[in-house]
A and B are shown apart, each in its own frame.
Chain A
Amino acid sequence: TQLLEQSPQFLSIQEGENLTVYCNSSSVFSSLQWYRQEPGEGPVLLVTVVTGGEVKKLKRLTFQFGDARKDSSLHITAAQPGDTGLYLCAGARPGGYQKVTFGTGTKLQVIP
């Protein structure tokens, strides 16, 4: 059972367009992370958000943690072909859990 559902599953857009990826759950998380993964490689951490309502920016990428800490979004402005990849959200449950649970993933293709 996936605790974190991502939408959309697939996204194909033209270079220069904006997009938003969503990560939703019915569970509360103490922190939420976003990773990007390229084919044949391991995921690479982009950001960690820990406070409800928190917004973090990484160049053209904006990450937001929901007020109730059950959901998150990733917005990319003026997408570039280098943004192509599998975007994964991952949440850490409150308490003594020492691992994170990954979402279902969003596969993004940016066409030049």
Chain B
Amino acid sequence: DTGVSQDPRHKITKRGQNVTFRCDPISEHNRLYWYRQTLGQGPEFLTYFQNEAQLEKSRLLSDRFSAERPKGSFSTLEIQRTEQGDSAMYLCASSTQGPKEYGYTFGSGTRLTVV
């Protein structure tokens, strides 16, 4: 068990460019979550997958954001036409049997800076 892996750890991009992040959850976890965190704040929910199905999306997830989890394994989060307001830490977490009782295991995050 290597934990939750996120790639890349850091990404600097110019405004208007597209970026894609990858998350590899713990292999036996069927639930996968994306959160966004700005400096000094708590993480904000973006979206949630159970296996390959995307079951919930936050209103924070504008139409420039898309997430996929093909085959119910790794997940990608794409941001199109990036804006400076997209600069944040993007956190992926996985869970088994729901986070209510067992909590999340988070990855180390991808720090996005839009210049």
Contact = CB atoms under 8 A, between A and B. Distances in A.
A19 to B, nearest CB: 18
A107 B41 CA distance: 10
Given A50-B100, A102-B43, 12 more contacts: A4-B42, A33-B99, A40-B108, A42-B93, A42-B107, A42-B108, A43-B43, A44-B106, A45-B105, A98-B99, A99-B48, A103-B42
Interface in A83-99: 86, 88, 90, 92, 97-99
Nearest to A47: B103
Contacts of A72: none
A42 B33 contact: no
- Measured as residues with beta carbon below 8 angstroms from the partner, the interface class of chain A is 20 to 34
Interface residues of B, number: 29
Given A43-B43, A45-B104, A105-B41, A99 B99 contact: yes
A104 B111 contact: no
Which 4 pairs show the lowest CB-CB distances between chains A and B? Answer: A42-B106, A102-B42, A45-B103, A92-B100
A99 B42 contact: no
A31 B101 contact: yes
